[in-house]
Structure 1
Amino acid sequence: MESRQILEETLKFHGHICWASAIGARIGIVALRELGVERTGISEELHCIVEIGDNHGAQCFADGVQCATGCTFGKANIEKAGWGKLAITLIDKKKEQAVRVSYKPGRHKMVAESSFMKKRAAGISPDQIPQKEAWEMVNMLWEAPESEVLTVGEVVSYPYEDFGEVMGLMPCESCGEMVSKAYLRVVGDKHMCIPCSGYDR
């Protein structure tokens, strides 16, 4: 798949035209290139640490990373570091190598001053802003020289220990809903889901 096609697929998946999901896709593509691997369809090949946190702007970045790399929360081969940064470490589990790629502020002032971002700052929903303005903002980053918008680290050794997947679901003995075995909690002589058990986690 060509990079522009990956961008279009990313924005379709994300639901609106967005600079953060676009730069996430670009970072994912570059990380794959640096490791010499292709987008993964299974959890055994790649693992990604995405450095976003919670409840901050630009978390859309993670959708771009997922689309480009194939590392997804559903396959459990991506995790959040929780640092509020737009960066990833992509790990080739088989070769035990990794590379870190991050967004750098070379063009961020231009993005912040774009008509799209000014409207977003005024509280206008992304789907209410003309697509032409959204694409102008995305293209500022997508078409920029890589050195202006990305910091690409060296490929380094990264021993990876995979603890595997805990298989199987069982019904909670309180509410009856199915729950992964790893999330059952013992209360007296019953196995319960976390909400029914009263435990926090």
Structure 2
Amino acid sequence: MTTRSNSANRTGLTLIGLVLLTAGVGGLLLSAGVFGPDPVSSPVLPEEVRTFAGDTPWFWWAAAAACLLLALLGARWLIAQLRTDRSGQMDLTADPGDGLTHLHAGALTTAVEDEAATIRGITGAAAHLVDRRGQRLQLVVDVADYADITDIRTGLEEQVVPHLRQALDTDLPVDIELRPGRSGRSGRGLT
């Protein structure tokens, strides 16, 4: 998922949760008689509202259109969940007049993961090119309980990242995430 999808999901779920919480609290207060004894014994909906659907011929067509709209919005939301920030390749072209050079993301990330795994104390690593054109690398490293975080960080910053940048001949930004205490897991597909 993209960062944009994540924030939209959180906002939408928060709003839905607040609406449902408000309706639930209102129903509890109504049934407890907080609004007086009359609302407890009377129907929730007035007679005109209860018979509106049966008395209005266009109501069911409007309800069907609303359901179709909700289905389309739901399908759009599901498609948005499938999008990701990950990139399948990296464009290494310095001058388009000289031709195009693309590097497959899997080749790059596997090399970075393998080199990171050689550092003592690292039990697994997962690397991903992100952004639309693969302009940033995310490296997630699982660290053993016994490992020295300072040594691992130094090894990553002074060995893995410079080798990556030297191989690409670019100053590619690298985000490193250390996950302490996750020993004994495979390095592929951690995130």
* TM norm structure 2: 0.22
Query: More helix per residue: 1 or 2?
Result: 2
